[in-house]
Structure 1
């Protein structure tokens, strides 16, 4: 009886072990063949939604690469335009809209008694601010001044235009302090064509009565001086002793796209790693 009873218990134990190991084997085998559907279920809707963040930041970084190329091409184009050979002032002044940043040659006489002052402005050297990256420099205050815009009576036609003669320091704003720079008689001038400028944000309105101009409103300047709304910015070739410093055409545009590229790509890499650790690495 004892032997029979032990045989029955052993048989029952053997059956239970077989069932257990069968389940374990099936589970291990099944875990090796996870379907895409089961992966999706484990990542969940929130995981797929958060994947938008690294994808979007990567796309923004790529867009900034394209913007950087476009800005560099534009700066190079402006330099090429300003350095081109000067052309004569067209008879039809409406053609000047297609000639912005092109040098134009004119001949005539300055009307110094009607000059205007645009500013305050920073001195520009070689197409860029002389105080760039010098926020704490002691020369920053010295480089603050005004642009002298003077009506110019053309010699070959009965018309008057505006010439931005250049920059003078604040202490020389009064023409009496720079008498030698007040060129008299008929002269030749080469200047860069500039068009109407809309009032920038946060910039106050121009004050005609005080001859204080904050932005390049050609229509308003022409009305005050009796000239046409045409402006040329004189090059450095015609600088005179004690006179304004020419070449005040800014041809360097703000280009911070490299920092934007690094920012967006770094965010994309960081969020991609976090997404992988949070969701993909847990999928078994």
Structure 2
């Protein structure tokens, strides 16, 4: 009796076809799960790598900013007209001697007055009382070099852009200047195109400005010491380098932490998500 029951439950011979299909399906499913498991682990690994890369990029950017700031504060050297050397001299103080041609002023606007003390006081405020105006760019004939360059004399408020309103600030005669070498700016999105024919400049295009005024494609920002009563306020050089790497670091490391947590919950603790 017992032997008959045993025979009916587990018949001898080859495995039933349905059993083999079930075993094969389970094996395939297990293999796919394993692949899916380790493939998803690539997400936190990749985001961790991107976060670490941004850490290195931030160190490099901070070092570059420090170098530029130290360069701005370096001892002035005589201006060179050599194009190759000028490429290496951006943000470097230089000395020139000569006189201005106020009849060919150019205006870059809108601009705001750069005042480090005021900016420090207003840091974090939602609104600011900063007045809008323009930078006055004036041709300057260098008597020691025999060439005309461009000098950004500095900031004037909107109501003083017209040179007739600041005649006393028109420096006459030969003067010595210290300025910071600058290059052309890249036009930013949504910034209008310059309109040389109407003397409307929205970004610094040294070549176009030089062509219009007959100067060499060289421009310097006059330092604050060049400021005279009723004239533009010098010292408007702003060292600007985008440094958003900390935001990227937080983003990538945050994604790494979140995806690692989800991966651990699903594949280690087997918690349904």
- Common topology (TM > 0.5): yes
1:169 counterpart (157, 160, 164):
157
Is structure 2 residue 203 aligned with structure 1 residue 215?
A: yes
RMSD of equivalent CA atoms: 2.9
Deviation at 1:110, TM superposition (A): 0.7
Distance apart, 1:92 and its partner CA = 3.2
Q: Provide Cα deviations, 1:113-172, integer angstroms capped at 9, x if missing partner.
A: 1010011112223499787654522x03x2x21110000011224311000011111111
Question: How far apart in 2 are the matches of 1:184 and 1:224?
Answer: 22
The aligned residue for residue 257 of structure 2 is: 269
C-alpha displacement of 1:278:
0.5
Corresponding residue for 1:136?
127
* Count of residues in correspondence between the two structures: 249
SS at match of 1:58: helix
Deviation, 1:93, is: 4.7
State the match for 1:59 in structure 2: 49
* Structure 2 residue 78 is the aligned partner of structure 1 residue 70: no
- Conserved in 2, the CA contact under 8 Å of 1:127 and 1:249? no
Matched, 1:98 2:88: yes
Return the offset for 1:243. 1.3
TM-score (norm 1): 0.79
* Map of 1:112 onto structure 2: 102
**3-state SS, counterpart of residue 152 of structure 1:** strand
Distance 1:43 1:280, change over 3 A: farther
Q: What residue is the counterpart of 1:248 in the other structure? A: 236
Give the structure with higher Rg (CA): 1
Mapped to 1, the partners of 2:142 and 2:42 lie a distance apart of 62
Q: State whether structure 2 residue 133 is matched by structure 1 residue 145.
A: yes
Alpha-carbon distance in structure 2 between the residues aligned to 1:156 and 1:104 = 13
Q: What's the CA shift for 1:197? A: 2.8
**Whole-angstrom CA distance in 2 between matches of 1:126 and 1:251:** 12
TM-score, scaled relative to structure 2? 0.82
Which runs of 5 or more structure 2 residues have no equivalent in the other structure? 3-26
Structure 1: unaligned runs, 5 residues or longer: 1-7, 10-36
Q: Distance in 2 between matches of 1:271 and 1:157?
A: 63
2:190 and 2:123 mapped to 1: Cα distance? 22
Deviations 1:229-257 (A, max 9, x none): 10011111211112111111111423222
Q: Does 1:121 align with 2:123?
A: no
Give, in whole Å, the separation in 2 of the partners of 1:220 and 1:128. Answer: 33
